[in-house]
Amino acid sequence: MKSVVAATLLVLSFAAPVAAEELETGGKLLLTGGVSTIEGSGGGGIATWATTTGYGAAGQVGGNIHGTLVTLPDFELRSWGAAVGLHDRVELSYARQTFDTRDAGAALGLGKGYTFNQDIWGVKVVLLGDAVYDQDRLLPQIAVGAQYKRNDRGPVIAAVGGEDDTGTDYYVAATKLLLDRSLLLNGAVRMTKANQTGLLGFGGPNGGDYSAQFEGSVAWLATRRLAFGAEYRSKPSNLAFAREDDWVDLFAAYAVNKNLSVTAAWVDLGEIATFKDQRGVYLSLQAGF
């Protein structure tokens, strides 16, 4: 947590303060700020982008709140949170995840409906490039970020082999929008120890050190309000009692306007806590400016 706090203070020192009456918003094109990931940062549903949340362009402020539901055959994930983008350069985010084991909790010896909760605080800083307006250059927008995660089920995590109930992910992301092709491309490398994004703790018998994992997104802007795409996220498999598979989704995102958007997806999360074929539906509502 100390590393994320220090990074937050550092990036805020670069963002010049703006008086309330001078705040401007809404300078970005529809959908170019992305939606909210399950971890609260701006991007796709499961992959972080280099863009900052909201519709604030350079010299402006943007922000969003989100609510997300992922329903699977044996589990349910709920996420809600908020994020703010400062001058299209800095993003600060918070998300609360609840992982509901439903009937599977009884089979795992935890009790029916047993839940894991996780708080995630994030910071993202754009280093260079502009995903939208640098159309005459191939250089993508590049950002670095960190996410501090704290789980509330330390004893259970220790019992299943997790080394810790807190951890920090670090990532670098690159995003480019090709306006002439209505195509968005994104890739990110995440250094992480997290098991199921941290919901089952961090590290374990099969791996206690940071490993590099890939996140990728491709989106086609069918209209200025509607986008279709796919995402992929590789995962470590640190725990001995259950393997952890990579994640895939196919999504559609629709912007009602610059204040409201909805995202729906089919997701394949593979095996979770010995339960295989966890495929289901992702729904997310985002409101902001």
pLDDT of residue 138: 85
The C-alpha atoms of residue 102 and residue 83 are separated, in whole angstroms, by: 29
The C-alpha atoms of residue 30 and residue 19 are separated, in whole angstroms, by: 26
Residue 187, token pair as written in the block: 């890739």
**Across 233-257, average pLDDT:** 97
pLDDT digits (tens, 9 = 90+) for 26-69: 678 888 878 999 999 999 999 999 999 999 988 899 999 999 99
Question: Do the Cβ atoms of 66 and 285 come closer than 8 Å?
Answer: yes
- Tell me if the domain spanning 2-288 has CATH number 3.40.50.1820: no
pLDDT(18) > 50:
no
pLDDT(3) > 70:
no
Three-class secondary structure of residue 11 per DSSP: helix
23 pLDDT tier (thresholds 50, 70, 90) = low
pLDDT digits (tens, 9 = 90+) for 4-16: 544 444 444 444 3
The C-alpha atoms of residue 171 and residue 175 are separated, in whole angstroms, by: 13
**Across 115-140, average pLDDT:** 93
- 3-state SS record for 36-97: ECCCCCEECCCCECCCCCCCCCCCCEEEEEEEEEEECCCCEEEEEEEEEEECCCEEEEEEEE
Residue listed under structure tokens 């374990």: 204
Question: Do the Cβ atoms of 246 and 232 come closer than 8 Å?
Answer: yes
pLDDT(250) > 90:
yes
Q: Where are the domains of the chain?
A: 2-288
pLDDT of residue 28: 85
pLDDT of residue 132: 87
pLDDT of residue 9: 40
How many residues are recorded in the chain?
Answer: 289
**Across 151-162, average pLDDT:** 96
**Across 206-213, average pLDDT:** 95
- Nearest CA to 52 among 151, 167, 129? 129
Q: What is the DSSP string of 107-162?
A: HTTS-TT-EEEEEEEEEEEEEE--TTT-TTS-PPEEEEEEEEEEES-HHHHHHTT-
pLDDT of residue 16: 39
Tell me the pLDDT of the chain averaged across its residues. 91
Buried b (16+ CB within 10 A) or exposed e, 219-245: bebeeeeebebbbbbbbbbbbeebebb
**Across 120-131, average pLDDT:** 96
Residue 216: Cβ within 10 Å count: 15
